[in-house]
Amino acid sequence: MDKTVRITFIVGLFVSLVFLYGFRTVSRAIKHSNQHVSISTSGSAEKIVKSDIAELKIVIKNKDEDFSKLNQKRIADKQQVLDFLKTCGLDEKDIISVNIKTENRGERENAWGGVKISHKEQAFAAEDTVFIRTKNFESVDNIKNQIMQLASKGLIVSYNCTYKILNLDGVKAELMMEAAKNAEKDAQVLLAPFNKKVKKVISISNISDPLVREETSDNSSDIYYSIGEESTLMKKIKLSVSADFSYE
């Protein structure tokens, strides 16, 4: 064999062996790497939920220069409110408490000089707050629609109604599972061009706090609020997660 041909043959054989070894090494590395490679995506889920309970706070205000007369009026007004609640279909057990706050304005100190001043025309003022907690939403609607009738009887009243979801943890768990499924779908879409498939979920993290949006007849707005700002019976709850998936 010619010397030049022999050298060429040996060099070619060496290159072939190096290439073959390198290919096998890279293949093993890819296979090993694929066992630990993951893809990260995010997903979200939302659902409309009916509130579990309503909380109402009705405030009755009174004032008089005579404490005895004020107290008599306060008792009479409170009874009118309690009777009104019954006509709206509210059960007595739903009335949690009645708090009383009475202020002697004649004993209030002057903020400028620290001298006690007297306002005889408004010497005493009182507030009776009736707290209601009920699942009777029909009665709640009746109260809200008819409460102005009390004003026609000379009562000074105001109210606040808050609807709450009691089983928020249960809703959160359900939405978390749905959000994770949506994250897996997104991961599968990203892997499809590479002929890869999601194998299993590795971890779920960055779980957001549930966000609540009031559901009204006007759906033009898509603004979400934090828990605690409820004011409507129906609520849309949204939750987002980040997830890592292994693939094959």
pLDDT given at position 18: 40
Percent of the chain predicted with pLDDT > 90: 49
CA distance 211 to 204: 18
Other CB atoms closer than 10 Å to residue 43's CB: what's the count?
21
CA distance 191 to 245: 11
CA distance 225 to 219: 15
pTM, entire model = 0.67
More confident residue, 155 or 213: 155
- Helices 137-146, 67-87: axis angle to 10 degrees equals 130
Q: Where are the beta strands (DSSP E) in 116-227?
A: 124-134, 156-164, 198-205, 211-214
CA distance 129 to 142: 19
Q: Give 168's pLDDT tier (boundaries 50, 70, 90).
A: confident
CA distance 140 to 88: 8
CA distance 147 to 2: 113
Q: Are 161 and 144 in contact (CB under 8 A)?
A: yes
* Structural tokens at position 111: 């903020």
CA-closest candidate to residue 235, choices 204, 210, 213: 213
Per-residue pLDDT tens over the stretch 130-155: 999 999 999 999 999 999 899 888 99
More confident residue, 219 or 76: 76
Q: Which of 84-93, 112-121, 175-184 has the lowest mean pLDDT?
A: 112-121
